[in-house]
Amino acid sequence: MSSPAGFQAAKPVLAIEGLTVSFDGFKAVNDLNLYVDRNEVHVVIGPNGAGKTTVLDLICGKTKSTTGSIEFDGRELTKMREYDIVRAGVGRKFQNPSIYENLTVFENLEMSYPKGRKVFGALFFKRTAEVVARVEEVAGEIFLSELLDKQADLLSHGQKQWLEIGMLLMQDPALLMLDEPVAGMSVSERVQTAELLNRISKGRSVLVIEHDMEFVKSIAHRVTVLHQGKVLAEGSMEAVQTNPKVIEVYLGH
Ligand SMILES: Nc1ncnc2c1ncn2[C@@H]1O[C@H](COP(=O)(O)OP(=O)(O)OP(=O)(O)O)[C@@H](O)[C@H]1O
């Protein structure tokens, strides 16, 4: 297994082995092995229909596998319910942000804190110093410290994406999964997002699906190329980029 300089090789946090899912006989993911380490930003790339989103769906329990195993932090996820997988420490951001548009940045973050205010629990809610401190800490991480009182629908597209990442960070997941996090972002927002992902990978694992190769270069510790539900290549961005098979099926197009 290749690792960047200074990277401590250890037991992977996420170990996917022999994972297969068939939809009416079509194997969208086919005998897949994939490992993600702690402190790693691992990026999955590949052509449309390669099975990238399906892999994230399988990890978070949205789709159930036909065969194979997904071991996360010593627990087998394939038999667990979506809700329990979240509680086990897996956070997933979809492409479209699912924030509460009519609430402020502060309130959105607060809602996501395990001990924070809930949509239907507002009546008996007392805002504690612990919640406020955590909201402020996360807002700082996602570049929104100055915008805590702003209503979420007034944020830019990029800021909404960061807010959703922040909402996941409130739960301090050990594994954070992001599907095309910089789609629709400006150049400067992309640069900031790369910095953000690098920073938040410390102490946890980040698994990203991305098509933007410049962005992949700026964040990936390791890249897995999927093709027809299988691993076509894996390694550093440099190694993957010069791999003739990868150029043929993906990067050359
Ligand atoms: N629930 C489902 N039922 C039937 N087929 C599905 C289902 N989910 C995914 N597929 C099929 O599985 C294949 C892989 O889809 P997936 O969305 O995982 O690819 P992807 O690599 O994420 O592609 P893209 O880059 O376009 O998002 C596709 O052929 C898709 O049509």
Measure 49 CA to ligand 1 centroid, in angstroms. 5
What's the order of all strands across the beta sheet hosting 14-23? 26-36, 14-23, 67-72, 75-76
Which pLDDT does position 97 carry in this prediction?
A: 72
Largest CA distance in the chain: 61
Nearest atom in ligand 1 to the alpha carbon of residue 28 is 12
Residue range 234-241: mean pLDDT, rounded? 94
Measure 162 CA to ligand 1 centroid, in angstroms. 26
- pLDDT category of residue 95 using cuts at 50, 70 and 90: confident
pLDDT surpassing 70 at residue 229: yes
Q: Which among 45, 54, 60, 66 is the best mutation to test ligand 1's pocket, defined by most ligand atoms within 8 Å of the CB?
A: 54
Residues with CB under 6 A from ligand 1: 23, 28, 46, 48-54
Take residue 59 and report the two structure tokens written for it: 């990890």
φ/ψ (deg, to 5) at 221:
-80, -35
ipTM of the modeled complex: 0.95
Take residue 134 and report the two structure tokens written for it: 């955590």
pLDDT surpassing 90 at residue 118: no
Chain centre distance of CA 232: 21
What's the order of all strands across the beta sheet hosting 41-45? 90-93, 175-179, 205-209, 41-45, 222-227, 230-235
Tens digit of each residue's pLDDT (9 = 90 or more) over 126-162: 678 888 999 999 999 999 999 999 999 999 999 999 9
Tens digit of each residue's pLDDT (9 = 90 or more) over 24-43: 989 999 999 999 999 999 99
Nearest CA to ligand 1 atom 26: 48
Cβ density class 210-249: b for 16+ within 10 Å, e for less: beebebbebbbbbbbbbbebbbbbbbebeebbebeebeeb
Domains of the chain: 1-89+173-253 (3.40.50.300), 97-172 (no CATH)
